[in-house]
Structure 1
Amino acid sequence: MTEPHSAEQTVGELARELGITVRTLHHWDEIGLASPSGRSAAGYRLYTGADADRVRRVVAYREIGLGLDAIRAVLDDATTEITATLREQRAQLAERVEELLRLDDRLAAMAAAHERGIPLSADEQREIIGEDWDPDAARIAQAQWGGTVQWAQFAERAATRTRAEWQELSAAMSRLQLDLGDALARGVQPGSDEADALVDRHRETFSNFFPLTREMQVCLGRMFEQDAGFAAHYDGFGEGLSRWFRQIIDASARKHDIDPDAAIWQ
C-alpha cells in the first residue's frame, strides 16, 4: 500500500515519486503548466497536495501521448471535451501504428535483402527470372560478397524493388543477352560502335543492382569468361559469347584510357 504523501513536497521529492526529472518539473513550472504554490519556512517553493495532483494528471496525460498544449487545454479549459480529445489521440495513434507496421515491413524486406540478396520466394524468383534460375545463386553471392559496399547497395535497392520492377529488370537483362548473342552471330567486331553500345547498355542495365564503373565492368567481363558457371550461361546464348563479351568490354575500356589487364574493382 502506498504511503500517504505529506501535505507539501519539494521538487525533488515529487520528481522521485512520479519517476520524472527535476528538470521536467522546472520546465512545467516555467511554462505555467504545473507550478508549486507553497513555501517552506526557509522560503523554498513546495508543491501542495493540489499542486501535486495537477502534476500527476499532467504525467498521466503525457504518458498516453498528449502534447503539453493539449494537456493544458484539458486541465484548464472547461469547454474542452476530454473524450473527444482522447479519441482524436487514439486516431493519431492508429495512424502511427500503421506507419510503424509499414516501417516494419520495410525493415523486414531490407533484412531479407541483406541476408538473401533477392527478397522474393524461390517460386517467385523462378517465375520472374526463369525456370532455369537457381534461387541459391543469390545466397552464394551473399556468402562471397556480403561484406562489400556493392552488396549493401544491391540489398538496399532490392529491398524497395517491386515485383513489377523485378520483372522489368529481368526482361531487360534477357533482351540484352539475346542481343549479345545476335551480335556475335552477325560478326560484330570488338571496338565497333555497335559493340560499344552493347557494352554501355550492359553497364547501364547492371547499374540497377549497384553503380558499375568501367573498371568494375572489365572485372566482370573477366569473370564471365573465366568462371565456369558464368561462361556456360553466356555461351548458352551463342558459342564463344563469354569470350567475345569480355573482348568487347575490354575494347570499350581502352577507348576510355583503361588498361583491361590492370583494371581492378573500383
Structure 2
Amino acid sequence: MRGVDDERSWRVGELAAATGLTVRALHHFDEIGLVRPAARTAAGHRLYTPPDVRRLYRVLALRQLGVPLAEIGAALDGGVDDVEQAVRAQLGQVDEHLVRLRDLRRRLDALLRARAEAGQPTIDQLLSTMEAMMAASYFTPDQLARLRQRHREAGDDGFARWQARWAELAAQVRSHVEAGRDPADPAVQETAGQWAALMDRMTGGDRGILSAMYASLDGKGAEAATRGVVSGEVWEYMKRAFAVGYRV
C-alpha cells in the first residue's frame, strides 16, 4: 500500500529546509547527475519525488562513510549490494570500537573502586587500563604503525610543515564561516580540495587512516583531537563542504 509520503513531492527549497542542505548544494547534486529531480513544475522549478529523496539519503549516508562523491554515483547505480556492503563495513568498525570502549569503561570503573577501597590501584590495574586506553583508540595498531612510519618518512620538519599548513587551511575555513559563504561556493570547495590534498599527504593516501582520523575529530572533539589546530565550528563547516564537494 502506498503511504501519504509516496504521493507528495518537494520543491528544492522545501527539501533543503528538511535536510539541512543548502539549495546550492542540491543544485550541485543535480548538475553533476548525482541526485536529479524526477519532475518539474509548469514553470520549470525542480520537484523531488520520494525516490529522489531516498537516493539523496543514500548519497549523504555514503558520504558520511568517507566515500568520494565521484564514486558514490557508481556505487548507487551498482545496486543494493554495493550500498549494503559499505554500510556493513562501517557497522563492523563501529561495533569493534564499542567493544573496546566498554572494556575501557570496565577498567576505569575498577580503578575508581580500587581508589575508594585501598587508596590507590595496583600497578597491574594501571597497566591493564593503559592497554585498554590504547585499544580504545580510533586507530588500529596497524594504522598507528603506518602513521608512525609516515611521520618518520616526512621527518620532524615535514610533519611541522603539515601542521602549519593545516592551521593555514583552518584559518581559511574560518574566513569562509565569518563571510557566511555557502559550503558549495567555489571558493569553499577550493579550500576543501586543498584540505583533502593535505590529508592525502599526511595519511599516505590511506582511506582507513583518514576515516579513523575524522572519527576521532567527531568522537573526541575537533579541538582536542587536533590539539587546537581545528575548532569545532571549523570542523562542522568542513563536513558540510565535504558533503557537497565533488572533487574531494
Q: Which TM-score band (shorter chain)? A: 0.3 to 0.5
TM-score normalized by structure 1?
A: 0.34
Q: Which has the higher contact order (CA 8 A, sep 6+)?
A: 2
Q: Work out which of the two has the higher radius of gyration on C-alpha atoms and give 1 or 2.
A: 1
Richer in helix (by share): 2
